[in-house]
Amino acid sequence: MELQFSGVYNEFCDLKDKGLDLDSLMLSTSQLLKSGISHYDWVGFYLLDSQNDQLVLGPYTGAATDHTHIPVGKGICGQVAASRKTMVVQDVAEQDNYLACSIDVQSEIVVPILKNGQFVAEIDIDSHAYAPFTTKDEQFLSAIAEKLSELF
């Protein structure tokens, strides 16, 4: 991981070690990621509501969104819930199955949080920059998702 990611990851681990409840940890993590990584303009968590086959918006940092409930399979977030695989979209304008949250969003990365191989939640990050995400972002966010999975 690059130095910027390493520093933020270490801060995240310190937060996790404080024993916060899951909601508080997710909110603190979203704030840390948004402030710590320059191209992260909206950071939030969606949690699986398996009874209704949908994602429910959890703690987030950034502009308000109308997307508080997303059916599994719909939009980038819903596709990640269905596939259990990270999706990186460098240009959201090129996506047919995209739920626009803001006209400012140009790219998005969504990383699943798996508990014992089962999808339980995801980290959703929007960027106002075009194509900012690299494999370093994927590795960094996957490491955070793995640590968070322990709390589900």
DSSP letter at 122 equals: E
Q: How far is CA 62 from the centre of its chain?
A: 12
Return averaged pLDDT per consecutive 10 residues of the chain, 152 residues in all.
85 96 97 97 97 97 93 94 96 68 82 97 96 96 97 95
Nearest to 60 by CA among 85, 40, 90: 40
Residue 15 structure tokens: 């937060």
The architecture that CATH gives domain 3-149 is 2-Layer Sandwich (3.30)
Tokens of 20: 């916060």
Q: Which of 148, 144, 145 is nearest to 6 (CA)?
A: 144
Domain boundaries, the chain: 3-149
Give the per-residue pLDDT at 104: 80
